[in-house]
Structure 1
């Protein structure tokens, strides 16, 4: 009986000893991690000396760097992270979000290169059309995001009519109390972008205005002499591509008239 009690006493003592050792190991690990973090934060080895920005169309490298909030001489540790994925890929997530607040910036990737370099790469939005908002015109991309506010029309971008906007914010998507019209606008802009991709002859270059009606139809004016009536549905990209082919390769430069898409696949040109 006495032997059994001694055995239990040793077992309890051994369990306590193991827990104490584990606690000490965890404490030492935290101390080591904290020391390493302190060394990295204050180490001159990680102070940034170079920030490179890929070539952009709408912003200078200085504007991109200023938007990021990253400065030469700062410790890279101050900007790394934002999420676990960002941290594992040595990306600066918070700085990326700041750059993406610029209206023309669609996405930004900011990567740290050991020991002292940051590389910034951005994907920019492509301005496609103008939409009236009271006395101004909003320049939007193919997704309906507002890139600029202009006080008049220009010769580079067609006007989209028939859309009454409620409000807008620079860098955000246009808003209206008829969300289906925004969907039609986005579908139209994406289709225009698609038919002109990798082509020297661009339909968008000859579009004067586009009037979107209530019944999923639109009128489109080309070069102030050709008007086309087109249905907004799954065949929109095909019809715009067909319209482009007719305009550039079948209608004479001095002809005026109407292009009517009378069924799902075919159109006819009615000259004045």
Structure 2
């Protein structure tokens, strides 16, 4: 193999240096052009996945402005700002060159409403307070009788028996059963009464072993429906076996 001479090595280093300088120069020109050209000014902001929050609210929260250069937008800051909105669970902001910003939203969904003095707190499956309403939401189960304190910094409710109540709602299978409930009432510390959408009253007992008791209640209700039994009350807090009180 032919050994390179000192002169050849020097020429090679000069070529590499020149190429690096040229690359830096071209990159600088392209960046300067991209940051200052009207070609990359935002003309469209697409927002998808939102149902509760309007596009205007989300767009304003993002601080992204039409006419702004698309490369000057701080996507991470925009995502952080949108996530501060109560109904937002997740958000992804992406650039679509040359002029479009795409904002993809995943919203939280209220699963129960908690009565708090004269208002109703709409709460999702993770225990986040999504909204305060003066009037009840007809399609959501109402939880009554709990002393509630909302943590403003985290937007999460704190209540007496809070963990037990969160265990009640923090499960997809539980929620499917709870959708049949009209009201969940705390009578005493160790006694919960439930009113179903069909008017049946359930003496549920304390909020312990919630998953098992809800699954058991679900089986009872399915059996009642299958046998077409007219029931006015189900007593689950008097011994191991439930007592079914019929209308006959």
What band does the TM-score fall into relative to the shorter chain?
0.7 to 0.9
Are 1:220 and 2:194 matched, yes or no? yes
Cα RMSD over matched residues? 3.4
TM-score of the superposition, structure 1-length normalised?
0.69
Do the aligned partners of 2:231 and 2:245 also contact (CA within 8 Å) in 1?
A: no
**Alpha-carbon distance, 1:56 to partner:** 2.4
Change in CA separation of 1:187 and 1:212 when aligned onto 2, cut-off 3 Å = farther
Q: Which runs of 5+ in 2 are unaligned?
A: 1-12
Q: Tell me the alpha carbon deviations over residues 99-139 of structure 1, each in whole angstroms, 9 at most, x when there is no partner.
A: 22221111111111222222211111111222233332211
Counterpart in the other structure of 1:5: none
Change in CA separation of 1:28 and 1:78 when aligned onto 2, cut-off 3 Å = same
Counterpart in the other structure of 2:47: 53
Counterpart in the other structure of 1:103: 86
**Alpha-carbon distance, 1:188 to partner:** 0.9
Counterpart in the other structure of 1:185: 165
SS of 2:170's equivalent in the other structure is helix
Change in CA separation of 1:206 and 1:132 when aligned onto 2, cut-off 3 Å = closer
Q: Which runs of 5+ in 1 are unaligned?
A: 1-17, 19-23, 81-91
**Number of residue pairs the alignment of both structures matches:** 229
Q: Residue 229 of structure 1: which of 190, 195, 204 is its match?
A: 204
Do the aligned partners of 1:156 and 1:205 also contact (CA within 8 Å) in 2?
A: no
Cα distance in 2, alignment partners of residues 190 and 141 from structure 1: 8
Q: Tell me the alpha carbon deviations over residues 153-210 of structure 1, each in whole angstroms, 9 at most, x when there is no partner.
A: 342222223421234439711134x5xx32222211123x42455xxxx541433224
Counterpart in the other structure of 1:77: 71
SS of 1:51's equivalent in the other structure is strand
Counterpart in the other structure of 2:56: 62
Change in CA separation of 1:271 and 1:79 when aligned onto 2, cut-off 3 Å = same
Change in CA separation of 1:150 and 1:128 when aligned onto 2, cut-off 3 Å = same
Counterpart in the other structure of 1:130: 113
Cα distance in 2, alignment partners of residues 149 and 170 from structure 1: 16
TM-score of the superposition, structure 2-length normalised?
0.74
Shifted more, 144-153 versus 238-247: the winner is 238-247
Q: Tell me the alpha carbon deviations over residues 47-81 of structure 1, each in whole angstroms, 9 at most, x when there is no partner.
A: 2222222242212333322222222221111224x
Counterpart in the other structure of 2:76: 93
Do the aligned partners of 2:120 and 2:135 also contact (CA within 8 Å) in 1?
A: yes
